[in-house]
Amino acid sequence: MTLLEIEQNIRKLHPNIDKNDIKLALMHVYDIKNYSQYILNYDKTYYPKKKLDKIIVRLDHGEPIQYILQEAYFYHRNFFVNKNVLIPRPETEEIVSLILEETTNTKQNIIDIGTGSGVIAITLAEHALHNVYGSDISLRALRVAKKNDINNKVTFIHGDLLRPVINNNLTIDIVVANLPYIKQEDIIDEKVSKYEPKKALYLPTNNIYRRLFNQTKKLNVGKNGLTMYLEFGTNQTAELVTLSQEIFGFDVIYEIIKDMSGKDRFLILRNLYGNKSI
pLDDT tens for 237-246 read 999 999 999 9
Is it the case that residue 188 has pLDDT exceeding 80? no
Per-residue confidence (pLDDT) for residue 24, from 0 to 100: 96
User: Regarding predicted confidence, which is higher, 51 or 183?
Assistant: 51
Q: Which helix (H) or strand (E) holds 259?
A: none
Overall average pLDDT of the 93-101 stretch: 96
Q: What is the pLDDT of residues 155-174, one digit of tens each?
A: 999 999 999 999 999 999 99
More confident residue, 101 or 191: 101
Q: Which of 74-83, 105-114, 195-204 has the lowest mean pLDDT?
A: 195-204
Q: What is the pLDDT of residue 233?
A: 82
pLDDT of residue 207 exceeding 90: no
Range scoring the smallest mean pLDDT among 43-57, 145-159, 180-194 = 180-194
Residue 172 CB burial class (10 angstroms; 0-12, 13-18, ≥19): buried
Domain extents for the chain?
3-61, 85-276
The pLDDT assigned to 182 comes to 61
For range 27-50, the mean pLDDT: 93
- How far apart are the C-alpha atoms of 80 and 78, rounded to whole Å? 7
| In the predicted structure, residue 277 carries a pLDDT above the cut 70 | no
- Residue 184 in this model has a pLDDT that exceeds 70: no
Strands 171-172 and 131-136: unpaired
Burial of 217 (0-12, 13-18, 19+ CB in 10 A): middle
pLDDT score, position 278: 38
DSSP letter at 136 equals E
Nearest to 2 by CA among 50, 42, 58: 42
Proportion of the chain above pLDDT 70, given as a percent: 91
Structure confidence by residue, pLDDT tens digits, 56-89: 999 999 999 999 999 999 998 999 999 999 999 8
Q: Does residue 231 carry a pLDDT above 90?
A: yes
The pLDDT-based confidence of 32 (bands split at 50, 70, 90) is very high
**Nearest Cα to 44, choosing from 19, 69, 20, 27?**
27
Question: In terms of CATH architecture, what is 85-276?
Answer: 3-Layer(aba) Sandwich (3.40)
What is the chain's mean pLDDT, rounded? 91
Rounded to two decimals, the pTM is 0.89
Helix (H, G, I), strand (E, B) or coil at 232: coil
Tally of CA atoms within 13 A in the half-sphere of 89 that contains its CB: 17
User: Residue 263 CB: number of other CB atoms within 10 A?
Assistant: 12
